[in-house]
Amino acid sequence: MNNESANLGIYQSKVDEALRSLSENRIVQRIWEQDYTVWKQDPTEISNRLGWLHTANTMLKKLHYIDELVVAVQAAGYTHAYLLGMGGSSLAPKVFSKTFGTRPGYLDLTVIDSTDPEFILEHSKRIDPEKALFIVSTKSGTTEETLSFFKFFYNRVASTVGNQKAGEHFVAITDPGTKLTKLADQYDFRTSFLNDSSIGGRYSALSFFGLVPAALIGVDLARLLNQATAVANSCDSCDMKENPGAWLGAILGELARAGRNKVTFVASDKIASFADWAEQLIAESTGKEGRGIVPVVDEPLGPPEVYGNDRLFVYLQLEGDTAHEAKLSSLEKAGQPIVRIRFLDLYDIGRQFFLWEMTVAIAGHIIGINPFNQPNVELAKMLARQMVADYTKKSVLRSERKSLESDQISVYGCIKANTPGEALVSFLKQAEQGSYLALQAYVNPTTETYTALQTLRVRLRKRSKLATTVGYGPSFLHSTGQLHKGDGGHGLFLQFTSEHRQDVPIPDEGGSISSTVSFGTLETAQTLGDYKALVSLGRKVIRFHFDRNVVDGLNQLSKAIE
C-alpha cells in the first residue's frame, strides 16, 4: 500500500485490533462471497445490492455499446450533453466533468440537478436544441426531479426540432423494467442503457450511470476501469494490512466508534470533486440506526484551534501537489488524526471509486449497520408529495408560522429573538458534544451564493468549533438526507430559502403544454417537506427566508456571527 498512509496517534491500536478481527472473522473473503451476514442476519437490501463488487470487470465487456453512442452523436453534430439526474445518478458524472474537462471533438457536459426555477431558466437559455443530447438518468425510473427535467427539456427540444425528431436527442440510463424504460419507448429515445439492478445508486459510478457521461466527454473508459480492477484485486487480499479497503474501512469505522466521526476531506484542486461523490457514499451508507459518519467536504482548512476532537482528516493528494502540507502538519502536531491518500494521476479516480466502496462496506460492518439501504430517505419525499397534492387541490402550500420578520428576512423555528442575527446566535447555543452544522440552501446554486455560504460556514465554525457541511436542495436530499434523519440526531440544520423572482411550469407530460405544478412549487414543497421530516424526528431546525437577494441575506447573517 504505497499510496496510503496514516498518522492516527492513540487510535492506531484500535485500528490494529479491528484489522485482526476482520482477519479472524474472514470478513473480506465473506464480502467477496456475497455473504449478507457480514452486516445483518436478514438479506433484505443486501443480497441484491452487491453487484458493485464486479462492476469494473463486467463493464469492460460492455464498452462497445457506449462507444456506439459516442460515435453516433459525434457524427450527428452534437456538441453538448445534459445529464438530468439526482444523487447517485449525477455525482459521478460531475466528478468526471470537473476532473477531466472535455477532450477536443467530444461533448461538453452539464449536470442538471436543481429544481430552482432560476437555475432551470439559465440553462434552458444556453441550450442549442439541435446540438444537445439529454441523458435521463435514474435507477428507480421514477425520481420526481429527473422526470420533471425530462418533461421540461423534451418540450424545449420538440419546439425546435419537432416531435418526430425530439426523441433522438434523449438517452435513458435506468434499471430494467422501470417507468423510464417505458417512457424511452413512448418518446422514441435514441437508446437506453439498462444497468445491473443489483448495483445501488451510490455504488454505480463505474456502471452505465457514470461511464456513459464520462465517455461523451472523452474519458478513456478502459484505462479507468483497469485502475478499478487493479485495486479490486488488492482489496481481495487476506493480509489486512496490505488490503487498502480493509485498512481504510477499519480506520473510518473504529475512529467513528471512538467519537471521531466527522471525516473531513482535504483535496488537491484538480481532484476535489471526488469528495462530493464520497460524501453521498459515506453519508447515505452509514447514517442510520442512530449512528453515522459525517462527511465534511469543501470546508476551508483552518488553524488547529477551530477544530474539536471529533475529526478525522483525509487528504486526497494529487502526485506533486503540496499546497495543503503546511496546514495539515500543524493539525498533525495538534493531535488530529490524518489519513493521506495519493492519486498518481487523474485516472487514479477509477481506483478510488472502488476503494471507497469497499472502505464504506467494511466501515459499515464495524459500526454495525447495513450500508446498502436508506430507510429514512422516503419520509421527506412523502411529505413533499403530500404538499404537492394539497397544492393541486388548493393552490396553496402550507408553511409553518414565522418566528420573526426583520430586515427582509423571515425566520422560522422555535427561537425567541429580535433580529435574524440574534436568532442564529441563539440557535447555535443548542449545540452539544458531537454536534455538527448542516447548511441547506434551497436556492439557485450560483458562484456568488457559494462564496457567501463558504464565508458563513467558516465564521460559524470559528464561533462554535463544530464541523460544518453545505448542501444545495433538493440535491442533498439524495446525498446526505439519509444521514440527517438516520444518525444520532446531532445535527443542527440551517435552511435558507428565497422568493422566486421567476417561475417555470413543469409540463404534465412531455409534449403537452398543460401544467399543474411549477419548479418553484416543487422546490418549496421539498423544502417544507424536509423541514417537517427533520422536526418530526426531533432534529433542531431553523429556516431563514430571504425576501431580497440571497447573497445579501447570507452576508448579513455572517456579520452577525462575526
Task: Answer with the one of 342, 367, 392 that is the final residue of a domain.
Answer: 367
Give Cα 43 distance to the centre of its chain: 26
Q: Residues 173-193: pLDDT tens digits?
A: 999 999 999 999 999 999 999
Q: Which domain holds residue 554?
A: 377-561
pLDDT at 386: 84
The rounded distance, in Å, linking the Cα atoms of 257 and 264 is: 16
Count of structural domains within the chain: 3
CA distance 170 to 179: 15
Q: Assess whether 182 and 324 both reside in one domain.
A: no
In this structure, is residue 372 part of a structural domain? no
Residue 377 — pLDDT band, cuts 50, 70, 90? confident
Half-sphere exposure of 300 (CA within 13 A, CB side): 14
Selection from 156, 127, 133 nearest residue 84 by Cα: 133
φ, ψ at 6 (rounded to 5°): -155, 145
Residues 453 and 489 in one domain: yes
For the stretch 494-539, pLDDT in tens is: 999 999 989 999 999 999 999 999 999 999 999 998 999 999 999 9
Query: Which of 486, 517, 500 has the alpha carbon at shortest distance from 376?
Result: 486
Task: Tell me, yes or no, whether 317 and 415 share the same domain.
Answer: no
How would residue 241 be classed by pLDDT, with cut points 50, 70 and 90? Answer: confident
SS3 state at 7? strand
3-state SS string for 48-63: HHCHHHHHHHHHHCCH
For residue 328, what is the domain's CATH number?
Answer: 3.40.50.10490
Section 233-254 average pLDDT: 96
| Domain-ending residue, one of 325, 347, 367 | 367
In this structure, the answer to whether residues 273 and 349 fall within a common structural domain is: yes
Look at residue 4 and tell me if it is in a domain. no
Question: What are the CA-CA distances from residue 284 to residues 260, 428, 438 (Å)?
Answer: 18, 25, 15
For residue 286, give the nearest of 538, 487, 554, 53 by alpha carbon. Answer: 487
Average pLDDT over all residues of the chain: 95
Q: What is the mean pLDDT of residues 341-362?
A: 98
Q: Are residues 149 and 211 in the same domain?
A: yes
For residue 397, what pLDDT band results from cuts at 50, 70 and 90? confident
* Within-domain flag for 360: yes
| Residue among 83, 143, 86 nearest 384 (CA) | 143
Give the up-direction half-sphere exposure of residue 186: CA atoms within 13 A in the CB hemisphere.
Answer: 11
Residues 281 and 312 in one domain: yes
**For residue range 452-464, what is the model confidence (pLDDT) as tens digits?**
999 999 999 999 9
CA angle, 108 then 282 then 141, to 5°: 55
Q: Is 390 a member of any domain?
A: yes
On whether both 427 and 554 belong to a single domain, the answer is yes
Q: Based on the number of CB atoms within 10 Å of its own CB, is 326 exposed (0-12), middle (13-18) or buried (19 or more)?
A: exposed
Residue 390: pLDDT band (50, 70, 90) is: confident
Q: What is the pLDDT of residues 18-66, one digit of tens each?
A: 999 999 999 999 999 999 999 999 999 999 999 999 999 999 999 999 9
Verify that 385 and 340 share a domain, yes or no: no
Residue range 197-206: mean pLDDT, rounded: 97
Name the pLDDT band for 383 (thresholds 50, 70, 90): confident
231 is a domain residue:
no
Q: What is the pLDDT of residues 117-144, one digit of tens each?
A: 999 999 999 999 999 999 999 999 999 9
Determine, yes or no, domain membership for 43. no
- Whether residues 389 and 523 share a domain: the answer is yes
Distances (CA, A) of 95 to 204, 319, 435: 13, 18, 29
Q: Which region, left, alpha or beta, applies to residue 438 given φ > 0 means left and ψ of -120 to 50 means alpha?
A: beta
CA 461-434-257 angle, 5° bins: 130
Instruction: Using the 3D structure, point to which of 167, 184, 219 is the last residue of a domain.
Output: 219
pLDDT at 140: 96
Residues 6+ apart with CB under 8 A from 287: 293, 294, 480, 482, 483, 484, 485, 486, 487
Question: Which three three-digit cell numbers place residue 138?
Answer: 435514474
pLDDT of residue 396: 67
pLDDT at 379: 75
Q: For the residues 365-391, what does the mean pLDDT come to?
A: 85
Question: Do residues 81 and 209 share a domain?
Answer: yes
46 is a domain residue = no
The answer to whether residues 145 and 86 belong to one domain is yes
pLDDT in tens, 266-308: 999 999 999 999 999 999 999 999 999 999 999 999 999 999 9
Amino acid residing at 515? S
State yes or no: cis peptide before 375, omega within 30 of 0: no
For 204-239, how does the pLDDT look when each residue is reduced to its tens digit (9 = 90+)? 999 999 999 999 999 999 999 999 999 999 999 999
Whole-number Å distance between alpha carbons of 368 and 362: 10
Global confidence as pTM:
0.97
One domain, residues 192 and 77: yes
| Residue 225, in any domain of the structure | no
3-state secondary structure of 222: helix
